[in-house]
A and B are shown apart, each in its own frame.
Chain A
Amino acid sequence: MSDCALSFAAVSAAFAAPGGGRYTAVAGVDLDVAQGEFVCVVGPTGCGKSTLLNMAAGLLQPSAGQVRVFGQPLDGLNRHAGYMFQADSLMPWKSAIDNVMAGLIFRGTSPVEAREQARYWLQRVGLAQHADRYPHQLSGGMKKRVALAQMLILDPRIILMDEPFSALDIQTRQLMENELLDLWSADRKSVLFITHDLEEAIALSDRVVVLSAGPASHPIGEFAIGLPRPRDVAEIRLTPHFVELHGRIWGAMKEEVLKGYAQSQGMARASGGRHE
């Protein structure tokens, strides 16, 4: 399908397991993200969500299957994608503004021009006052804003986000989610958003994809989220439609979450990985 921004076709990823053998994290994943669509992927911790996203970014080669970007098979890094990582990804030796402009510098924009644009983006994410601070001088939420500006300044057509707000407190998180929706609604990019938080997934997305517990994790359900936009993530949680959706998706997820939990417990007890 060429109107897809991003599509996974029968994608699998296997890693060499620590004790020999191999561990298949995800297997046979088919997943499409249409242009302008906001898709959330939820699944129990350790099921392979980050692995999927790394393959979409081209940081990781699939063991089998194919990732396509705007119809073209992905070879090397995904040049159309911006990636917001789960962990701290800012260069600690660069100030906020230098971090934001880094991508433009890498792409050969003149420093003066890059700095000007970076100022604009810092202002968009509400950090104009903190341009010259280093990452260690910023709060967790501020760092995420810088990372967001750093990604958006390059105007990527596809946005990949890996539990970007999971380390934030609930208030900061809802603020960031609303800001993300604001920024997104301005020019509807294609978004693949990973989270383990079902409420976050429903509040943000057009479609929620549920992954099974690993090994060989794969989508076990897709739910269209017909909630009206623009949304306020804090308020929408209280609407009957949201509650109904949550109930339905949770019903499909619950078993997998319990399975994933049992497996991680078993793994901790055996202190060795499960092999295949």
Chain B
Amino acid sequence: MNDSHTVPSGLRLRVYQLLVLLALFGLWWGLTASAILPPFFFGEPLRVLVRIGEWFASGDIYPHLGVTLIETVLAFAFGTGLGLAVGLWLALSPTAAVLADPYIKAANAMPRVILAPIFAVWFGLGIGSKVALGITLVFFIVFFNVYQGIREVSPVVLANARMLGAGRRQLLRHVYLPSAMSWVFSSLHTSVGMAFVGAVVGEYLGSAKGVGYLILQAEGSFDINTVFAGILVLTACALLLDGLVSQVERRLLAWQPGQGNTEKI
């Protein structure tokens, strides 16, 4: 077993992680430069980086990146709001829950990406169809977590709040919602990721703007370096969003016991 003292952390860990990245790039470069892998199919890392540099230097990428991010944020916001509302409603009214149960299961089991063309017909090729796709992806994650969160409320905490004089609305606000929110936040990483997937996949399947659209266009002209450049930019964005979520999480879930509870003296 690994001794936990030897696991690198902090700055050292970051340096190691960066070295891994450089090694991967080096390997990619070596294999394609020596033509072991044909550069036509596998791209050339240096040109990929140049491409990314051009994008940001000329500012060409910003409108596309902006559209993709707006789609992501909108899908995330509406999907979360809807999931929260429906989750609360179904968890607190058993009749509605048993009625809706098979439909929820069916809708969740359906591969929702196939809805993208339908949304394109309904909402056009603008951001509407991408947001709609993202919402269908985010909704179920949030919905199931809210539902679970409310079911998991400790009966003792609930009885205590009632004895302290809480009415229905107050139970909702002071007991059910905070419990549900803790579950929603614990799934924040997944749902932000899904909103992003919805936006990019939607763009890829038909659009006039966005990073997904750039990738699609480049593929059409066999410009593999631009495809890789687009993928790298998307990945960096996803990482950034994830970091943002971690920050938000740390603030809002301060009441939850974490792992690193003791302070070094």
A77 to B165, CA, bound (A): 9
Which of B164, B165, B166, B256 has the most chain A CB within a 10 Å cutoff?
B164
Q: Tell me if B's interface is mostly helix, strand, loop or mixed.
A: helix
Partner of A92 from the list B159, B164, B166, B256 (CB cut-off 8 Å) is B256
1/0 per position for B99-140, CB-CB distance to A under 8 A? 000000000000000000000000000000000000000000
The yes or no answer to B56 lying at the interface (CB within 8 A) is no
**What's the minimum C-beta distance from A149 to chain B, rounded to whole angstroms?**
12
A168 to B104, CA, bound (A): 45
**What's the minimum C-beta distance from A136 to chain B, rounded to whole angstroms?**
4
Residues of chain B within 8 A (CB-CB) of A59 are 159, 162-163
The yes or no answer to A269 lying at the interface (CB within 8 A) is no
A105 to B174, CA, bound (A): 10
> Which listed segment binds B: A32-40, A83-91, A122-130?
A83-91
The yes or no answer to A154 lying at the interface (CB within 8 A) is yes
The yes or no answer to B156 lying at the interface (CB within 8 A) is yes
Partner of B174 from the list A85, A87, A88, A102 (CB cut-off 8 Å) is A102
Nearest residue in A to B254 (C-beta to C-beta)?
A134
A107 to B161, CA, bound (A): 12
Within A54-106, the residues touching B (CB, 8 Å) are: 57, 59, 77, 79, 81-83, 85, 87-95, 102-103, 105-106
Partner of B170 from the list A106, A134, A150 (CB cut-off 8 Å) is A106
In the complex, are the beta carbons of A91 and B178 less than 8 A apart? yes
Partner of B178 from the list A87, A88, A89, A93 (CB cut-off 8 Å) is A93
A85 to B162, CA, bound (A): 12
Which of B160, B178, B182, B257 has the most chain A CB within a 10 Å cutoff?
B160
A166 to B168, CA, bound (A): 31
Residues of chain B within 8 A (CB-CB) of A103 are 164-165
Q: How many residues of A contact B (CB 8 A)?
A: 29
In the complex, are the beta carbons of A154 and B164 less than 8 A apart? yes
In the complex, are the beta carbons of A85 and B160 less than 8 A apart? yes
Within A145-200, the residues touching B (CB, 8 Å) are: 147, 150-151, 154
The yes or no answer to B175 lying at the interface (CB within 8 A) is yes
Residues of chain B within 8 A (CB-CB) of A105 are 170, 174
Residues of chain B within 8 A (CB-CB) of A90 are 157, 160
Nearest residue in A to B158 (C-beta to C-beta)?
A89
With A103-B165, A134-B255, A154-B164 as known contacts, state yes or no: A87 contacts B175, CB within 8 Å: no
A89 to B158, CA, bound (A): 8
The yes or no answer to B38 lying at the interface (CB within 8 A) is no
**What's the minimum C-beta distance from B182 to chain A, rounded to whole angstroms?**
7
In the complex, are the beta carbons of A89 and B174 less than 8 A apart? no
With A85-B156, A136-B256 as known contacts, state yes or no: A91 contacts B161, CB within 8 Å: yes
A93 to B256, CA, bound (A): 7
A243 to B99, CA, bound (A): 62
Within A105-143, the residues touching B (CB, 8 Å) are: 105-107, 134-136
In the complex, are the beta carbons of A93 and B156 less than 8 A apart? no
A92 to B161, CA, bound (A): 12
Residues of chain B within 8 A (CB-CB) of A107 are 165
Within B175-192, the residues touching A (CB, 8 Å) are: 175, 178-179, 182
**What's the minimum C-beta distance from A50 to chain B, rounded to whole angstroms?**
11
Partner of B162 from the list A77, A82, A94 (CB cut-off 8 Å) is A77
The yes or no answer to B63 lying at the interface (CB within 8 A) is no
Nearest residue in B to A91 (C-beta to C-beta)?
B157
Q: Give me 30 A-to-B residue pairs in the complex whose CB atoms sit less than 8 angstroms apart, sorted by A's number.
A: A57-B159, A77-B162, A82-B163, A83-B159, A83-B163, A85-B159, A85-B160, A87-B154, A88-B157, A89-B157, A89-B159, A89-B160, A91-B157, A91-B174, A94-B178, A102-B161, A102-B164, A102-B166, A102-B174, A103-B164, A105-B174, A106-B165, A134-B255, A135-B255, A136-B256, A147-B160, A150-B164, A151-B164, A154-B164, A154-B165
Task: Using CB atoms and an 8 Å cutoff, list the residues of chain B in contact with chain A.
Answer: 154, 156-157, 159-167, 170, 174-175, 178-179, 182, 254-257
